[in-house]
Structure 1
Amino acid sequence: MKRIFCPKCDNQLTFDETKYPKGKVLVFVCPQCTHQFKIRLGKKIVKTETGEEKEVNEADFSCGYITVIENNFGYKQDLPLVEGDNVIGRRNKDTDGVHVAIITSDPSMGRKHCVIHVKPDGNGHYIYTLRDFPSLTGTFVRNVLVGKKEQVVIEDEAIVTIGATTFILHAK
């Protein structure tokens, strides 16, 4: 089952995406506010470091991903990363510029909390660097606070805490 959100009222809707082919446009009517909106399955446009737009599959985990650990504020989520900057923060219908939006009610997580930069190293692997956006509550790697203007290299299975939410990096 796939979860989507109404762009007007942020109401959550679910549907079975396996019943439709990739690239298909679906139209939904929100039962809460009656707003009508469309989504396209399986296609997502992202901007690369050079500013070019690139079409990727919605569930493209080829550059690695993060797993958000379930807690009182939200459920477990696997969120893909792309090459370049991945701004991570709390999902909000008014938030622009967040590439990895965590669905949570955690009030201590910022809308733009931290950034994971993904860069290929030439050997088929990726280098992951983490920095605070800056946020009010800070970003922690294995319970060590990342400095305000500091960038740290993180590796596979690094444990990162933002606010009261923790996620684990899974490298390619």
Structure 2
Amino acid sequence: MKRVRCPKCDEFITFDETKYQEGQALVFVCPQCGKQFGIRIGKSKLRNIQKEENPDENADENGYGSIIVIENVFHYKQVIPLKWGDNIIGRYMKGSKANTPIETNDPSIDNNHCVINVSKDKNGNLKYTLRDGPSNTGTFVDNMILGDRERRIIYDGTLFTIGATSIILRAANSEE
């Protein structure tokens, strides 16, 4: 099964791609907003930047770890790699400052909700520091809301929540 996103309201439409041939054009009508749009079956030019349908939870393509966005009613499970420095986490929107965007329809996630800073501690090990954006709904770690200027060191397996979305930090392997 494949998913396409409505260009107007971002609603996902699922269809069985095995019923169609490569190069075939399809037209969809969004059940949410009524927008009519077309796609062409085949290899997407954007596929290399899109998330995989069944992401590998241990993926660590940059060597700095990743975050695992847990599937809920707003979105599918996503594994998003982290980079060195500030990783601005927020809802995906064209033109947003978020460099670690989550593809979601969760209205309680801001465009720039929180930040994970990846740096090294005095022993040369990777250190992950979480802080709120500031956001409208807050960032929660262990069911405790982060204060306005509060920074929290988080570790592999730490569960934090933004809006109605739970995220797990998957730290990079410390063996170098």
Count of aligned pairs between the two proteins: 140
Distance 1:144 1:115 in 2: 16
The one-letter code sitting in structure 1 at the alignment partner of 2:130 is L
What is the CA-CA distance between 1:117 and the residue it aligns to?
Answer: 0.2
Indicate the percent of aligned positions where both proteins have the same amino acid. 46
The one-letter code sitting in structure 1 at the alignment partner of 2:75 is G
Structure 1 match to 2:71: 70
Q: TM-score, normalised by structure 2?
A: 0.66
Structure 2 match to 1:117: 117
Structure 2 match to 1:154: 154
Structure 2 vs 1, CA of residues 163 and 40 (structure 1 numbering), >3 Å: closer, same or farther? closer
* Deviation by residue 1:70-95 (Cα, 9 ceiling, x = unmatched): 11111111100001000000111x33
Distance 1:3 1:123 in 2: 45
Q: TM-score, normalised by structure 1?
A: 0.67
Structure 2 vs 1, CA of residues 132 and 83 (structure 1 numbering), >3 Å: closer, same or farther? same
**Structure 1 position 88 matched with structure 2 position 107:** no
The one-letter code sitting in structure 2 at the alignment partner of 1:90 is R
Q: Counterparts of 1:30-109 in structure 2 under 5 Å?
A: 32=37, 39=46, 41=48, 60-92=61-93, 94-109=94-109
Structure 2 vs 1, CA of residues 72 and 126 (structure 1 numbering), >3 Å: closer, same or farther? same
Which structure 2 segments of 5+ residues have no match? 14-24, 28-36, 50-59
Distance 1:156 1:108 in 2: 25
Distance 1:148 1:87 in 2: 16
Question: Is 1:73–1:105's contact at 8 Å kept on the other side of the alignment?
Answer: yes
* Deviation by residue 1:113-134 (Cα, 9 ceiling, x = unmatched): 0000000236553100011010
Structure 2 vs 1, CA of residues 90 and 156 (structure 1 numbering), >3 Å: closer, same or farther? same
Distance 1:131 1:163 in 2: 14
Question: Is 2:96–2:111's contact at 8 Å kept on the other side of the alignment?
Answer: no
* Deviation by residue 1:11-30 (Cα, 9 ceiling, x = unmatched): 989xxxxxxxxxxxxxxx99
The one-letter code sitting in structure 2 at the alignment partner of 1:84 is G
Distance 2:120 2:26 in 1: 41
